[in-house]
Amino acid sequence: MFAYYLELAFRSLRRSRALTALMILAVALGIGASMTTLTVLHVLSGDPLPERSGSIYMPRLDPRDLSHAEDTKLPVQVTWIDGMRLLKDRRADRQALMVGGTVPVQSDDQAMDPFIEHSRYTTADFFAMFDVPFRYGQPWSDAEDESRAHVAVIGADLNDRLFGGTNSVGRTIRANGADLRIIGVLDVWRPVPHFYDIYTGSFSGSEGVFVPLSTARALEMGRDGGISCWGEGSTAENEMERASCTWLQYWVQLDSAAHLEAYRRYLDGYAHEQAALGRFQRPQHPEVTGLLAFLEEQKVVPSDVRLQVWLALGFFVVCLVNTVGLMLAKFMRRAGEVGVRRALGASRRSVFAQLLTEAGLIGVAGGVGGLILAWAGLALVRRQPDAFARLAHLDLTMLVATLLLSVIATLIAGLLPAWRACSITPALQLKSQ
Global pTM reads: 0.79
Do 36 and 127 belong together in one domain?
Answer: no
Of 398, 371, 291, the closest CA to residue 43 belongs to 398
The pLDDT of residue 47 is 84
Is the Cβ–Cβ distance between 401 and 374 less than 8 Å?
no
The pLDDT of residue 256 is 95
- Whether 416 has a pLDDT exceeding 90, the answer reads no
d(CA 358, CA 415): 11
Helix (H) or strand (E) holding 56: strand 56-60
Helix (H) or strand (E) holding 182: strand 178-186
Do 99 and 166 belong together in one domain?
Answer: yes
d(CA 373, CA 56): 38
Is the Cβ–Cβ distance between 72 and 190 less than 8 Å?
no
Angle (deg, nearest 10), helices 335-343 and 396-423: 70
Looking at 298, 317, 351, the residue that finishes a domain is 298
228 phi and psi angles, rounded to 5 deg: -135, 125
Residue that wins the pLDDT comparison between 234 and 405: 405
Strand partners for 134: 186
Do 255 and 383 belong together in one domain?
Answer: no
Q: What domain range includes position 322?
A: 2-45+301-431
Burial class (CB in 10 A: 0-12, 13-18, 19+), 75: middle
Burial class (CB in 10 A: 0-12, 13-18, 19+), 42: middle
Burial class (CB in 10 A: 0-12, 13-18, 19+), 87: buried
Residue that wins the pLDDT comparison between 284 and 332: 284
- Whether 422 has a pLDDT exceeding 80, the answer reads no
Q: Which residues fall within 8 angstroms of residue 202, CB to CB, at 6 or more apart?
A: 193, 194, 298, 300, 387, 388
Do 146 and 233 belong together in one domain?
Answer: yes
291 phi and psi angles, rounded to 5 deg: -60, -50
pLDDT grade for 9, boundaries at 50, 70 and 90: low
The pLDDT of residue 355 is 78
Do 137 and 195 belong together in one domain?
Answer: yes
Looking at 239, 265, 298, the residue that finishes a domain is 298
Q: How many residues does the chain have?
A: 433
How, if at all, do strands 249-253 and 56-60 pair?
antiparallel
- Whether 315 has a pLDDT exceeding 80, the answer reads yes
Q: What is the mean pLDDT of the chain?
A: 85
d(CA 13, CA 406): 17
Helix (H) or strand (E) holding 102: strand 94-107
Do 383 and 396 belong together in one domain?
Answer: yes
Beta strands in 272-404 (DSSP E): 287-290
Do 35 and 143 belong together in one domain?
Answer: no
Of 85, 53, 27, 32, the closest CA to residue 409 belongs to 27
C-alpha triplet 132, 138, 142: angle, nearest 5°: 95
Do 264 and 307 belong together in one domain?
Answer: no
Radius of gyration of the chain from its Cα atoms, rounded to whole angstroms:
30
- Whether 68 has a pLDDT exceeding 70, the answer reads no
Do 381 and 245 belong together in one domain?
Answer: no
Range in 87-91, 108-112, 180-184, 334-338 the model is least confident about: 334-338
- Whether 202 has a pLDDT exceeding 70, the answer reads no
The pLDDT of residue 195 is 87
Do 336 and 370 belong together in one domain?
Answer: yes
Structural domain tally of the chain? 2
Residue that wins the pLDDT comparison between 350 and 260: 260
Do 314 and 359 belong together in one domain?
Answer: yes
Looking at 253, 268, 298, the residue that finishes a domain is 298
Do 345 and 275 belong together in one domain?
Answer: no
* Distance set, CA 165 to CA 7, 128, 161, 162, 179 (Å): 55, 23, 7, 8, 20
d(CA 266, CA 289): 15
d(CA 294, CA 277): 29
d(CA 358, CA 150): 68
Start-end of H helices in 45-136: 80-89, 125-129
